[in-house]
Every structure is written in C-alpha cells, then in structure tokens.
Amino acid sequence: MPVDRRILNVAFKRGITLGGSLIIIVFMTAVIIGATGYDTKILNALIEQRLQALKQSLQQREGITAEQIQQIIENERQRLREIYGLDKPWYQRLIPMTIRTFKLDLNVTSDDVANVAGLRIPVSVGDAIRAALPRTIIMITVAEIIAMAIALPLAPYIAYKRGSLLDKGVVTYAAITNAAPLWWLAMIAIYLFGFKAGIAPTQYRQILSYLKWDQFTAAPLETLYHVLYFAYLPILVTVFAFLGGWLYSVRAVAIRVVAEDYVVVAKAKGLPERMVVRKYILRVIAGPVVTFIILGLASSIQGFIITETVFDWPGMGSLYYQAILSGDAPTILGLIYVTTLVYVLGRYILEILYVILDPRVKM
C-alpha cells in the first residue's frame, strides 16, 4: 500500500475510534451524573437558596402582599428550574447537555467553581477553563518540560553505563518517586520550605492576582517575579517527582537499543562514547520518546487534582475538584470534554506520526 493511502486510512480509522471514544466518555459521564440524581439534588438546593434570598429582599420592600411575594417566588422557581433544565427528567436532558458540552455552550452553576477560576458568575464553562488552563500549564506542563529536558540527554548515557553506580542510583531514585505520592511530597515541601524555612509561600491561591495578561504587559518583570515566587516550589516538587519516571522509562527504551548488535559493533570499533550515544542511540529511541513526550504533555493539562488541591493552586485540577464537590455538572462535563479532547488529539497525532515516520508499521 502506498504511504499516502496508508496515512489516509489511519487518519480515517483512528479518527473514528478516537472521536467515538470522546463522545462515549462525555456521554457516559453525563449518564453517571444524571442517573444518580447527583446534580439534581445539588441544583435544587441551589435554587432554594436563591429563592430564600429573593424572598427576604421582597419582604423588606413595602406595599407588597404575602400573596404577591408567593407568586413572584413561584414564577422565579419555574424560571430557574427551566434554566437548570430541572423541568425535564434527567434522560431528556442528556442529549442536549452532551451536545452543548461539545459546543462549550454551558454556564458554570456554582460560585465556588467560578471562584477557583478567579471569576464571578455568570461565566461560561469555556471561560472558566480558559482562566484555569494557564495556571496548570505554568505549574505542571512546565514541570513536565523541565523533567523531559533533563532526562532526555541524560538517560541514554545512563543506559550506556548500565550497572554503574549512577545507573543504580537513578533506578533507586525512580523507584522512590514512583512509590511516594506527589501530593504527599507537596505537603512535605510546603511544610519544610513554607512553614519551617519560610522561603516559599504558604498560600498559593494568590497567584490568581498576578497571572494576568494585562498585568504582564504593564509590568512584565515584576509580574514574572511574582509568578515565579508562587510557582517555583510547586514546579520544583513536580519536577522532582517526574524526573525519576522520565529517567527510568527513557533509560529502559535506550537499554534495548544499547544491546543491539550495531551499537555493540560501534562500541567495539572504539567510537567515542558521545558519538555512539548521539548517532546510534538517540536517533533510534526518538520514536518511543516522542510518544512519551506527546502523551505526557497532553495529559499534563488535566492538572493533578490532588496536588493542586494540596497547594490550593487554582488550576485545572482544582477546578475539576471544586466542580465535582459543587455538583456543577456543566463544568464537570466541559472539563472531561476538553481534557479528553486534548489527550485524544495527542494520540491521534502520534498514530499518524507513526505511519509517516516508520513505513514498516503495518496497519
């Protein structure tokens, strides 16, 4: 089969499965939320709360009878129920809800969720995600990139020196960071650097007031300083936790290559180590490593719910968590949609890259 037709074939087939996955995942989440009556309960409570406030303000007004108040309240209840779609059973809300999720045409329903985004109700789910995303990128995506940047040049050397003290040290380090939860390391870091040594902030929510584009354009250096002040500890902790995994997995890929005959021959020929690593190892491991990179970056944008919560870092993870706690179905669905979309796109690009880069891949 010619390469271009094969690319077309892969693009088509994987497009269908991955797109299908996306639709199924969002739809099933909507089913979980709807079928358990989870959002209905919370939305009803929310409506009652608002009606209570309305009633109080009406009672303070003069020249209005109790009956009129009752009437206004009833009308308002009806209106709110329609807004939140509570006038219909959950399964009738399902399909419109899913479709609106794909259009990102939904509004945040909970004040707490809007707060995490640094915004106020009314705000659309899209805007809330747009607000939270840069903060997750600043912390987790940046950390991921730093860890990669350290691991990629280092790991092949470690693989080349398999069994050395350095190699054993790296494996142990990777094993430890794999076993210790990142969010616990975050707690320890806040304790040590924030409270004990006093060289890092203890409140991270304040990054909200610094990470703003207009502020950056007005006073770039000062803003950068503030952002760095808040971000450095979360980034350091995350890099510390990620680096082990990166080193280990790139090393594992490289070790297979090191054992290949042509590398052994290159070594036997007496080629300098640097050259063997660059010419014979780095090039060959590029494929799997690109996979790691794309999937790592694609999944980094969903944030780390627990770690962000520990830092009280107002990113995607905190948004997720607050949305789930507040029963904010539109935000939950919007987040599931956006994060899954990015991940699925990452995989899609990879599958096509495989075919373009490696004509031997059979489809």
Partner 1 sequence: MSGKKQVRESLASKIASSLKAGVGEVWRNNMGKAGLIIIVFIVIISIYALATLPPGLPDKWKNRLAWSEYPTSVPPEWVRYFGVPVAEHKIYINPQTSYSGIVTPQNIQGALPYYANALGLKQTIVGYVQVYSVEYRLNDPAFPTGILTLFTPINNSVVIVNGVERQVQVLPILVVQRPDGLSIVVAQESSALKITDLAFKNMSVTADLFWRQYIDYFAQQGVTINMTETDARGFATQMIFGKPLGGKEFEPLTGTYRLHLIIVYAGAHPNAIQQAITAGQLGFEKIKIVVKGNAYGISGTDNMGRDLWLAILYGFPVALAVGLFAAVASVIIGLVIGVISGYYGGLVDEVIQRFIDVLSNIPILPILILIGVILQEKPGVGPWEKLFIIIGFLVILGWGGTAIIVRSMTLSIKAEPYIDAAKAIGASNARIIFRHIIPQILPYAMASLVFSVPGAIITEAGLSVLGIEHGLPTWGKILADAQANRGIAYKMWWWILPPGLMLAITGLAFVLLGLAIETIVEPRLRRR
Partner 2 sequence: MKGEALIRVEDLKVWFPVRRSIVDLLARRPQLYVHAVDGVTFEIYRGETLCLVGESGCGKTTTARAIVRLIDKENIAGGRILLKPSEDVLEEVKKIQPDAVAEEGYVDMYKLKGKALLGVRRETQMIFQDPFASLNPRFRILDILEEPLIVHKIGDKEERLEIVSKVLETVKLTPPEEFLPRFPHQLSGGQRQRVAIARALVLNPKILAADEPVSMLDVSIRAEVLEVLNELRDKMKMAILFITHDLALARYVCDRIAVMYLGKIVELGGADDIIQNPLHPYTQALINAIPEPEPENRKKIRKLRIKGEVTSAVNLPKGCRFRPRCVAYDENPHIQPRCEAEEPGLIEERPGHYAACWLYEKRSP
Least gap, CB of 1 to partner 2 (angstroms):
7
Binding mask 4-23 for partner 2 (x = CB under 8 A): -xx-xx--xx----------
- The amino acid sitting at 358 is D
Binding mask 146-175 for partner 1 (x = CB under 8 A): -------------------------x---x
- Residue 278 is given by DSSP the state I
Least gap, CB of 250 to partner 1 (angstroms):
16
H/E run at residue 143: helix 142-160
Which among 254, 85, 22 is positioned nearest to 161, based on CA atoms?
254
Location of structure tokens 């796109």: 345
Residue 270, Ramachandran bin (φ over 0: left; ψ between -120 and 50: alpha; else beta): left
Query: What are residue 107's DSSP bridge partners?
Result: 124
Give the interface segment with partner 1, choosing from 102-110, 135-143, 147-155, 304-312 (CB under 8 A): 304-312
Binding mask 312-341 for partner 1 (x = CB under 8 A): --------xx--xx------x--xx--xx-
Location of structure tokens 């770039």: 220
Which among 133, 182, 186 is positioned nearest to 311, based on CA atoms?
186
- The amino acid sitting at 338 is V
Give the interface segment with partner 1, choosing from 35-43, 89-97, 99-107, 264-272 (CB under 8 A): 35-43
Question: CA-CA distance, 74 to 90, in Å (whole number)?
Answer: 22
CA 351 to each of CA 24, 283, 296, 345: distance values in angstroms, whole numbers, following the listed order: 20, 19, 15, 10
Of 1 and 16, which CB lies nearer to partner 1 in the complex structure? 16
Q: Does 3 bind partner 2 (CB under 8 A)?
A: no
Of 7 and 252, which CB lies nearer to partner 2 in the complex structure? 7
Of 8 and 271, which CB lies nearer to partner 2 in the complex structure? 8
Looking at 269-328, list the stretches that DSSP marks H as alpha helix, in order from N- to C-terminal side. 273-275, 283-300, 305-311, 316-325
Q: Write out the residues near partner 2 by the rule CB under 8 A.
A: 1, 5-6, 8-9, 12-13, 363
Contact positions vs partner 1 (CB under 8 A):
17-18, 20-22, 24-25, 29, 32-33, 36, 38, 41, 171, 175-176, 178-181, 183-184, 187-188, 190-191, 194-196, 202, 302, 305-306, 309-310, 320-321, 324-325, 332, 335-336, 339-340, 343-344, 347
